[in-house]
Amino acid sequence: MDTIEIIGLVAATLTTSSFIPQVYKAWRHKSTRDVSLTMYLAFFIGTMLWLYYGYVHESLAIILANGITGILVIVMLVLKIKHK
């Protein structure tokens, strides 16, 4: 694994893990009042496009980051709809 891919994996870990506190807070408090549904829908579409891009370019960092982020965004969307 080359240095650039390692940098990509570190960046992916940091950006993806930044969603965990928001998901945890929404889950714990059962409140998504301050969460924008439109923003998360747009973000999900962008994340899926990045996932496809990573697949086409065979980039492990992009695939992992956007796959995991996509799951976290889906959880937030479900919580947003459930706790409206």
What's this model's pTM, rounded to 2 decimal places? 0.83
CA 34 to chain centre: 18
Q: What is the mean pLDDT of residues 27-56?
A: 94
Q: Domains in the chain: how many in total?
A: 1
Residue from 28, 15, 7 nearest 68 by CA = 15
pLDDT range class, residue 8, cuts 50, 70, 90? confident
- Reading the block at residue 61, the tokens are 């960092």
Q: Give the DSSP per-residue string, 25-82.
A: HHHHHT--TTS-HHHHHHHHHHHHHHHHHHHHTT-HHHHHHHHHHHHHHHHHHHHHHH
State the CATH number of the domain containing residue 28.
Answer: 1.20.1280.290
Domain housing 74 = 3-82
